[in-house]
Amino acid sequence: MRPVKIMVMSSLDGGVGKTTMTTVLGVAKGYTLLIDMDWEKADVSQLFRTPRKPGWLAPFLDSQRPYIHKVNPMLYVMPGYEAAELYQQHGEEATAAFQEVMLEWVEAMPKFIASLRIPVDTVIIDTPAALNLNLLSKLQSKGVFITFMSDRRLIARISDVKAEHYRRYMAYASLVVVNMVEKEELRVARKIAPVVIKRVKIPEYYGETIANAVLRDKDNKKAVDTVLTKIKTL
């Protein structure tokens, strides 16, 4: 059975570009399954125009096999529409169940990927902001590669309380990425995080278009290559 590497995208704040980075990494690496576990938005599903078919919650709701959307021969997406709909109905009451399902998926992933018979060796899971710290601890104990995403707020002057929140989340991270940094902030950002992504103009919000816009910048391409190298060594 081919070893399956699992990466979870985490953050403290919303709007920091977790979904963008998930998209960029999936397109840049290939041989990847993206799982849209951001139950607040399901943006990955929408960015790749994934049909509204059973997603990662399906086996737990009605025992259906989840639909796998083929973006191209080396990139696939498991949608998350049902979770987003349930979150809209029940709010935070639903999150405990979602988190338990995430842990079950992490355990089952190698066998599930083998059953699909598709060329995938990496799974990247997009998530909502501010995951429970206990969940991050459990994911870490299972060998999941956790990437912590922030934006320029991490390099700005912040309160001691906010800084402590960042510290707690970053303690579970295998990698820290600062996103949407202006050119003049690069030097400062690189002293704080090993991977820094510059803000770029994105002409159209479609999965591969977003990835190409980010990767067209040579500094961003180098930063993404750093992440891909770390994935390969897992």
**DSSP structure string for 28-96:** HH-SEEEEE--TTT-HHHHHTT--S---TTHHHHT-PPPP-EEEETTEEEE--HHHHHHHHHHGGGGHH
CA 46 to chain centre: 14
**147, 174 in Cβ contact below 8 A?**
yes
- Structure confidence at residue 68 (pLDDT): 98
Q: What is the mean pLDDT of each run of 10 residues along the chain (234 residues)?
A: 88 95 98 98 97 97 96 98 97 96 97 94 97 97 97 84 92 96 92 94 94 97 96 88
Q: Which two tokens stand for residue 202?
A: 């994105």
CATH class of 5-232: alpha beta
Tell whether pTM > 0.75. yes
* Domain coordinates in residue numbering, the chain: 5-232
